[in-house]
């Protein structure tokens, strides 16, 4: 029984098997994320644009609109996108094989029917070779099984990330999903300013990248792969700015390695999924890569850290 539960919680996620769905879903989340971006006041490090994991999928969380709120939810169990108003009205868009252009049109129609005006910039972000949403008839795949698997990986990873987050007293991000880079992330901050970021991210204003990396970070996350040097799902960890010797640091588990192409440590998802205790394997990676960043950059660890949180037990002061 235990093996069956682990398999369900950390399912196989072969990149080649769901690449087309992954690419389409990436763009669908960008459509929804840009709605939140257009209507939400700026929050440090672009935290106002992120999506959040739910017990059924992904959500924008409530978005203020003319004295009320609305929320957009991806449901990867029933495969429905919900747009709900706090007054009770709602619209649905069925998640099925369809082009990005059709998805974009359906979302805009549903918003207008609910009285929501949310014009967005339709050029995708952080993708080098991309097509405006309304013109994209290329990306049109949706494999419901793999969409569900992807969400289940996010759900399991979020639990470990959230526990890891409890061991830090300094500024730390929520565990959130960035639709631009299509990854789940959690970030710790030293409290010190960082050097000016060089920018240069495809279809992302340099001002956004520079604000996002205004302070020193140790950041970790999960990315389902996207071609190039990483055509597989992987956990990652990086530091900005990367301290001297970071790439040569010894980290755990043994399957983790430093990618010179990406400038960050990677741990293949399969190394976690196939581990005897996947949660422990992932926590070891998070902790050891953070240790490397914090030690080499000489963070004030004594004042920034605490023991991992326990349910129902207040932290001792």
Average pLDDT (304-315) is 96
Per residue in 244-272, pLDDT tens? Answer: 999 999 999 999 999 999 999 999 999 99
Where is 242: in which H helix or E strand? Answer: none
- pLDDT band, residue 8 (cuts 50/70/90): confident
The domain segmentation of the chain, as residue ranges, is 16-135, 144-304
Residue 194 pLDDT exceeds 50: yes
Average pLDDT (76-93) is 98
Asked if the peptide bond before residue 241 counts as cis, ω within 30 degrees of 0, the response is yes
CB-based contact 252:214 (threshold 8 Å) = no
Sequence-distant (≥ 6) Cβ neighbours of residue 220 within 8 angstroms: 161, 164, 185, 186, 187, 235, 236, 237, 238, 285, 286, 289, 290
**Nearest-angstrom CA–CA distance, 49 and 41:** 9
Residue 278 pLDDT exceeds 70: yes
Residue 222 pLDDT exceeds 90: yes
- What the block records as the tokens of 75 is 């449901």
Residue 3 pLDDT exceeds 60: no
Provide the 3-class DSSP secondary structure of residue 112: helix
Provide the 3-class DSSP secondary structure of residue 258: strand
What confidence score (pLDDT) does residue 306 get? 97
- pLDDT band, residue 6 (cuts 50/70/90): very low
Average pLDDT, whole number, for the chain?
95
Sequence-distant (≥ 6) Cβ neighbours of residue 89 within 8 angstroms: 114
**Nearest-angstrom CA–CA distance, 188 and 172:** 4
CB burial string 114-147: b at 16+ within 10 A, e below = bebebebebebbbbeebbebeebeebbbbbeebb
**Nearest-angstrom CA–CA distance, 98 and 178:** 23
Per residue in 52-63, pLDDT tens? Answer: 999 999 999 999
- What the block records as the tokens of 280 is 């422990």
What confidence score (pLDDT) does residue 281 get? 98
Average pLDDT (193-216) is 96
94: DSSP letter: E
């Amino acid at each position: 029984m235990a093996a069956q539960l682990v398999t369900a919680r950390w399912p196989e996620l072969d990149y080649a098997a769901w690449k087309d769905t992954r690419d389409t879903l990436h763009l669908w989340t960008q459509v929804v994320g840009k709605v939140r971006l257009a209507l939400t006041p700026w929050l440090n490090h672009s935290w106002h644009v992120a999506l959040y994991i739910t017990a059924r999928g992904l959500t924008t969380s409530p978005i203020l609109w003319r004295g009320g709120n609305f929320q957009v939810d991806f449901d990867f169990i029933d495969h429905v996108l919900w747009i709900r108003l706090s007054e009770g009205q709602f619209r649905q868009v069925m998640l099925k094989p369809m082009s990005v252009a059709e998805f974009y049109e359906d979302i805009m129609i549903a918003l207008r029917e609910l009285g929501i005006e949310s014009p967005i910039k339709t050029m995708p972000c952080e993708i080098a070779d991309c097509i405006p949403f309304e013109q994209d008839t290329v990306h049109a795949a949706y494999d419901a099984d793999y969409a569900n698997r992807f969400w289940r990986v996010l759900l399991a990873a979020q639990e470990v990330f959230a526990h890891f987050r409890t061991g830090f007293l300094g500024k730390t991000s929520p565990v959130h999903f960035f639709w631009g880079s299509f990854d789940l992330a959690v970030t710790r901050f030293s409290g010190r300013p960082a050097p000016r970021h060089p920018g240069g991210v495809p279809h992302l204003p340099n001002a956004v990248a520079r604000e996002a990396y205004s302070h020193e970070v140790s950041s970790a996350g999960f990315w389902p792969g996207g071609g190039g040097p990483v055509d597989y799902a992987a956990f990652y960890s990086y530091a900005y700015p990367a301290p001297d010797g970071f790439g040569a640091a010894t980290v755990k588990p043994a399957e983790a390695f430093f990618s010179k192409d990406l400038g960050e440590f990677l741990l293949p998802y399969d190394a976690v999924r196939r581990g005897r205790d996947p949660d422990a394997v992932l926590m070891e990676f998070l902790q050891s890569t953070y240790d490397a960043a914090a030690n080499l950059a000489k963070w004030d660890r004594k004042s920034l850290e605490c023991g991992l949180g326990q349910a129902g037990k207040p932290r001792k002061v």
